[in-house]
Amino acid sequence: MRSITIKDIARLSGVSVTTVSRALNNAPEISEETQERVLRVCREQGYRTNLLARSLISSRSHLLGLVLPELANPYHASLSLNIELCARELGYQIMLCCGRPEKGQMKSPFDLLLSQRVDGILMASTSDSAYALPQNGPGGVPCVVLGACAAESTTARTNTVSVDNFMGGYMAAEYLFRLGHRNTAYLGLRPGSSTHTLRNQGFLTAARTLGMAVEVVENPDPSSSIESGCRMARQLFRRPGFCQTAVFAASDAVALGVIQVADELGLAIPEQLSVLGFDNIEYAALPNIRLTTISQNTPLLARSAVRLLMELIESGEDAVYTRKLVTPSIIQRATCRPLSSEEAPPA
């Protein structure tokens, strides 16, 4: 069944297509009377603008590409929804495209998106350099990377929005210090990941300033998982001189591992050990977990990214690159407790 076009509306209301177009777009040069009549016919006929045609002629599709990594994790789910919400409020639609660059014969997500003539691309990266960014040549569009590592973006020509990992680490140290902890451990440093390097640096910097001891445990695995958290926790707890009263885990996944091992070993949390995570994944809020953690503030992250992309699209600027850092916040739940004055001798 052919759908109704402005031509049909024009015929039915006895005006030209130009007039219909003007009525639909609230153009100033049209009489109210005509406009009303035309719009009424549109409503009666169930007319719907063909956005493909409009985009074609205006060379603006009001489409944003969203590239996600292949794995379904709750963090990206929340990110996507927030991005879609914000984009739609600003008059844009989201075109979804999940990772898997050039696996098999499939075209890369970017090619597809660019062919669809999206006005801009949002990319949520997990691994540090998973994709070659779309070149800003002909047909290139502005691109914003979410959660990128800061180390790279000092050299790469990329627009990025990410949580301030250094600040997060810093806040974590301050928080534990304020609770009275003087002997802490940092669990899960991965030197290969700039995200984690920054978290670690922030933590160590604050600790040094405040005079708080930190035992750093490196993560041998390529990613932060519950399992690697377990391994590191065992390693730490079994050390001869184990005396830490608080653990800062590089990610909530690691923290979950710590909690599990502590449970197995009969180490009470938070009575004998305080645990602080990073990310505020959904699991962290579960009633039998209640992990105190540093939150990434996904909604704000999403909004900032969409706003930035919008600005880039509207300005057409392609020579200046922006990096935005969103300040994290502490979500206090049940895994950290203050030390009493006897327990915490002044440093």
Partner DNA sequence: CTGTTAGCGCCTTCAA
Partner DNA sequence: TTGAAGGCGCTAACAG
Interface with a copy of itself (CB under 8 A): 1-4, 46, 48-53, 55-56, 61, 66, 68, 70-74, 76-78, 80-82, 84-85, 88-89, 93-98, 100, 106, 111-112, 114-117, 137-139, 226-227, 230, 256-257, 259-260, 263, 282-283, 286-288
CB of 248 to DNA, least distance (A): 53
User: Taking CB under 7 A as the rule, does residue 59 contact DNA?
Assistant: yes
- Work out what residue 244 binds among a copy of itself, DNA, none; the CB cut-off runs from 5 to 8 Å by kind: none
Q: Report the relative pairing of strands 143-146 and 120-124 from DSSP bridges.
A: parallel
User: Taking CB under 7 A as the rule, does residue 17 contact DNA?
Assistant: yes
- Work out what residue 209 binds among a copy of itself, DNA, none; the CB cut-off runs from 5 to 8 Å by kind: none
* Residue showing tokens 């996944």: 253
- Work out what residue 19 binds among DNA, a copy of itself, none; the CB cut-off runs from 5 to 8 Å by kind: DNA
User: Taking CB under 7 A as the rule, does residue 58 contact DNA?
Assistant: yes
Q: What is the distance between the alpha carbons of residues 158 and 65, in angstroms, rounded to a whole number?
A: 16
Task: Fill in the per-residue mask, 235 to 264: x = in contact with DNA (CB under 7 A), - = not in contact.
Answer: ------------------------------
**Element housing 33 (H / E):** helix 32-45
Q: What is the distance between the alpha carbons of residues 64 and 192, in angstroms, rounded to a whole number?
A: 31
How many residues in the chain? 347
Report the side by side order of strands in the sheet with 292-295: 213-218, 183-189, 246-249, 274-279, 292-295, 329-331
Closest CB to a copy of itself among 76 and 303?
Answer: 76
Q: What is the distance between the alpha carbons of residues 245 and 259, in angstroms, rounded to a whole number?
A: 14
CB of 257 to DNA, least distance (A): 52
Secondary structure class of 164 (helix, strand, coil): coil
The amino acid at 52: L
